[in-house]
Structure 1
Amino acid sequence: MSEVLGPSEAVLAAAVARRHLLEGESKVDLATSLGISRFKVARLLEAARESGMVKIEIVSPLGIDTTRSGELREALGLQHCVVVPGSGAQADPGVSAAAAALLTEIVTDRDVLGLPWSRSVSRMVDVLQSLPEIPVVQLSGAMVTPEEDSSSVDVVRRAGRIAGGGRHVFYSPLLLDDAASAEVMRRQPPVRQALDHVADVTLAVIGLGAWAPDVSTIYEVLSPAERKAVTKAGAVGEAAGVFFDADGVVVDTPLTARIVGLTGSQLHGIRHVIAIAHGPQKVKAIGAAVRGGLIDSLVTTADTADALLASVA
């Protein structure tokens, strides 16, 4: 039951609350100044809260849903989780800004940053403003699509200019026509030398694709027979050309040998992987990537967070 304050105590409680909560005056200093005990100061503060005189409101930073972020981080066991209000394409600018802010917050001058080809990663780099002086490594070849005019080389170069610590790039498609062509490409000195630096990467930002129409760039360029073969291999999603199943276990598909980029074991070997992914069709793939330990942190949208929370409830 809330304590009922008399008029004089209400005035005193308001003064104590104002000086302590707004002006930062310590309880000890308040007790000395007002000639009362520290216990009396504590009782007045508690009474001010219980009576409704003091109301504490936690306001989320603009563009971040802190409540959902905390709930999803705990539910999935992530190191970091940032949830942006909204859904769909309207949330893309906020997702990109949040991913850039998270990267800027956790990167250190001892890291080596890895970036693959991804539309979401490219958009993040568009708004990225600062990085320590660290190397940036290209993790995969590029998917060239009519909708995108940025390649993986361009993404790494732009990030490298911001960091100023050097960059390791190579020119190659992500997916070649056959395994032999991909092997020849991987043996080319510039490609081999750049891919050798993947082992040095300690922090990466990736996009996650679900194995379904409109949510995977790779899916869109394949024939129906090729899509079916990848599905038959058990893939539910892919990240930088690495395919994984519903448990997040990396799987070999008919496309794996045709991919030029990091391997599944190399993705697992990166100390911290931030994934940018949102949309109802990606919920299963995101959950799988978390279960398989492929990602450590996530930037997503409110609708996706709600679906992920429902899936683990």
Structure 2
Amino acid sequence: MQDILTVLSALMPEYEEELIQRLDLLRLLSQQNKRLGRRHLAELLHTTERPLRTILQALKATGIVDINSRGVMLTERGLEVLNHAEYLTYEAQRRPFYQAEQGLRDRLGIPNCVIVPSKGLDEARVFEAMGQATEEVLLNHLHAAKAVIAVTGGATLSHISHGFSKRLSEGRQVTFVPTRGGLSASVEIQSTSVGSMMAQATGGDYVPLYMPENIDLATSEKLLEEPSIAQVLDQGKHADCLLLSVGTAEVMAERRNLNPSQQAEICEQGAVGEAFGTFFDKQGQVVLKYPRVGMQLEDLANIPLVTTIVAGSDKAEAIKAFAQLSPRLDWLICDESLAETVLNGVTLLK
């Protein structure tokens, strides 16, 4: 969007702010997918009713919104306009990073990647852009009329769900399924909660899985005898797509409540990252495998589309190692700070 706004700023600087306001309005109406009153809209957009009324009347005149006594709603034409604007935004954001993306693919030995801008942007905007980039990958590569998307937990996937839209479920049924039980971490970043958030953002369905993850082998085997639990986990292992993130060893050791001897072991062995209960070092060698209920690392080999979403320079070592360890990694969605750290001067980001 920066390229587009640069042109508009030069030609019509007085309209730049209003253009941003209109796009924010359309995004909000698309996400809500219901009629909203002007006062409520003004509150959500942090503006007042008077300027909002002027914008709404202009959009109504072009058939982008429908207004009646019950409130404002996005029309089909409005959704088409928004989708086209989002595509232009997405392409404009990507253009400066084409060379860096090629460098990152070569450095990690992966087939595809997308870098989104992050310098000078607040965290919420970065994650929203990563969500939009992830959605573009899914739109271009998920063609089934009924698509199952497996999701891991974690803060990153929780945040990117705000960049998803109803486009993903247009003309098809999309179902999100969790890949594991819950950690002792906050509920919002657990796998089943992330699936619920993504389903709500896209208008899709989700299958909940209410069970702990960090349990002993005997208990887990007992739980897997329960048909409803076994069915959900099996559905995740045979999904059309997997969305996952990778954590740093230090953070995940704390989140998984490793005992002192286990923490000492991963420290001594030089662990840099963790995924699917597996801690690994810089060479992508397994340091410690933590027993867990749900999808295992080796299951990735059987999933047609594996997409990894990672942000932050602190995860650079983890993603470099994971690229060596993972049996499959089709797409990497990352921010420019992580890309720059991974490349470390091999390809300059300009």
| TM-score tier (shorter) | 0.5 to 0.7
1:239 and 2:275 matched: yes
Percentage of pairs with the same residue: 26
1:139-169 Cα offsets, whole Å, 9 max, x none, are 11222435x6453222212323455554332
1:86 paired residue among 110, 114, 118: 118
| CA apart distance, 1:69 | 2.9
Any conservation in 2 of the 1:113–1:201 contact (CA below 8 Å)? yes
TM-score of the two chains, using structure 1 as the length reference? 0.67
1:169-218 Cα offsets, whole Å, 9 max, x none, are 21122322x33233333333322110111232121111101212xx4375
Cα separation, 2, equivalents of 1:236 and 1:168? 32
Any conservation in 1 of the 2:158–2:188 contact (CA below 8 Å)? no
| CA apart distance, 1:308 | 1.0
Q: Call closer, same or farther: CA 1:235–1:217 in 2, change over 3 Å.
A: closer
1:172 and 2:208 matched: no
1:241-265 Cα offsets, whole Å, 9 max, x none, are 3444444356652x2x2x1220122
Match of residue 185 from structure 1: 223
By percentage of residues, which structure has more strand? Answer: 2
Cα separation, 2, equivalents of 1:218 and 1:260? 18
Q: Counterparts of 1:116-265 in structure 2 under 5 Å?
A: 116-130=152-166, 131-132=168-169, 133-145=173-185, 149-163=188-202, 166-176=205-215, 178-212=216-250, 215-216=251-252, 218-219=254-255, 221-231=257-267, 235-248=271-284, 253=289, 255=290, 257=291, 259-265=292-298
1:114 and 2:145 matched: no
The structure number with the bigger radius of gyration is 1
TM-score of the two chains, using structure 2 as the length reference? 0.60
Cα separation, 2, equivalents of 1:141 and 1:65? 40
Cα separation, 2, equivalents of 1:64 and 1:118? 29
Q: Which has the higher contact order (CA 8 A, sep 6+)?
A: 1
Q: Call closer, same or farther: CA 1:249–1:159 in 2, change over 3 Å.
A: same
Any conservation in 1 of the 2:281–2:321 contact (CA below 8 Å)? yes
1:266 paired residue among 275, 294, 299: 299
Consecutive unaligned residues in structure 2, runs of 5 or more: 1-89
Give the aligned length: 247
By percentage of residues, which structure has more helix? Answer: 2
Q: Call closer, same or farther: CA 1:252–1:266 in 2, change over 3 Å.
A: farther
Amino acid in the other structure paired with 2:174: I
| CA apart distance, 1:115 | 0.4
1:72 and 2:104 matched: yes
Amino acid in the other structure paired with 2:114: V
Cα separation, 2, equivalents of 1:247 and 1:66? 27
Where has structure 1 moved over 6 Å in runs of 4 or more?
none
